[in-house]
Amino acid sequence: MNTRLVDSLLQIITSLTLEERLLLQERLNSLAIQLTPDVCGGQPRIRNTRIPVWTLVAFRQQGADDAELLRNYPTLTNDDLTTAWAYYAQHEEELNRVLAVINEDDNA
């Protein structure tokens, strides 16, 4: 592990303004969400999984809490869920459209 690199990064991060830190956090969170054309229909998914963000959002909207989701998806972490919720907050319209199409298909 390169502790000097980590220390220098920490020094840079602590010098950021609040707005810059929020942007950094947003960019880091976005790394945890992947969009790959041939995986999960190209829908945003939790990194290195085949779990689309919309699936987690749908279960949450049906009343599942984080603990239940973590039990049902044991490969996920609290950080994964936090990232999914942040992604949903930033892309709510897009994901709601996906959920609406899926709900229409289920009711057809």
The residues spanned by each domain of the chain are 18-107
Does the structural domain 18-107 have CATH classification 3.40.50.300? no
Q: What are 74-103's pLDDT values in tens digits?
A: 999 999 999 999 999 989 999 999 999 988
What is the model's pTM? 0.77
Instruction: Give, in order, the Cα–Cα distances in Å from 28 to each of 1, 32, 33.
Output: 20, 7, 10
Residue 107 confidence class, pLDDT cut points 50, 70, 90: confident
Q: What are 46-77's pLDDT values in tens digits?
A: 999 999 999 999 999 999 999 999 999 999 99
Residues 51 and 87 sit within 8 Å (Cβ to Cβ): no
Question: Does 9 have pLDDT greater than 80?
Answer: yes
CA distance 73 to 95: 20
pLDDT score, position 108: 66
DSSP for 32-88 reads TEE--TTSGGG--EETTSS-BHHHHHHHHHTT--HHHHHHHSTT--HHHHHHHHHHH
